[in-house]
Amino acid sequence: MKLIHQFRKYIWTGKVVRSAIIIIIIFQILSLSTPAKAANAFIFHEFVPAGAEFSGNNCPQVTPQIDTPCEDFYVLFWLGGLQMSDVHWGVYVRHSVAIFHPDGTITDVTTDGFLENPQGSFDMNKYTYAQVKGSVPMSDGSALNVDLTWDMGLAELHYGGNNSAYNLNNGITWHYASPCLTLNQIDHQQWRSGASGMVTGSISGIDAQSLTMYPGEPFIEGRSLFTVVSVTHGGCIVG
């Protein structure tokens, strides 16, 4: 299983795109690419029977008059793996500490971390709730405490894949082709998301409800399957 998941979040803009796992896999593949003497093909499957996401920040929504510090968090609690017979629970955290300057610039430092088999629970049948608690070792050597509960019972249950309304509305396509790369991503999942849901608890000692959530948050999913087929063409340099 992967120990790194970022998940397609663009910090400070609030832009969230689902299928995060797929994008991370793509970037992992491309980051390892070297000049090719012949075509190289990768086929990658990721099974996610359960997952819960939360992202929020306490950053200013407009340019401040003075230097203003803030924090941005992304949390993923999930059960996943490369085979249904070998899946594991984990929690991934990304934490950014930033200063917003009056000239519109931002100075920030980002750390991330992963904890396997944290304490937690998950509604595997209807995806109405999840809970995770643990001390996550971060990339700078520190530890970040997470104690979050998702209450998603009032959020509508959706079913979707490559032709889902979400993908269509956000211009997400399953097929990409260029002179150097052909890429197909095939996925399907069930999920609940949006303002009808609620996340309570704390992260790094900060009340989760005091943070401004990104659009589409919180998010909970299940019965998810993601597949990436990537072919780099001979003679090209990718990345």
Q: Please report, for the chain, the start and end positions of each structural domain, with discontinuous segments joined by +.
A: 9-232
Higher pLDDT, 140 or 81: 140
CA nearest to 77, candidates 99, 55, 58: 55
Q: Give pLDDT, residue 117.
A: 94
Q: Give pLDDT, residue 82.
A: 63
Which range has the worst mean pLDDT, 89-93, 145-149, 180-184? 180-184
Residue 116 has pLDDT above 90, yes or no: yes
The encoded tokens of residue 16 equal: 């969230």
Q: At 59, give phi and psi (nearest 5°).
A: -85, 155
Residue 136 has pLDDT above 80, yes or no: yes
pTM, 2 dp: 0.74
Q: Give pLDDT, residue 164.
A: 65
Summarised one tens digit per residue, pLDDT across range 26-85 is 344 344 444 444 557 777 777 788 999 999 999 998 999 999 999 999 999 999 876 666
Residue 234 has pLDDT above 70, yes or no: yes
DSSP string, 140-195: TS-EEEEEEEEE-TTSPPEEEETT-HHHHHTT--SEEE-SSEEEEEEEEEEEEEST
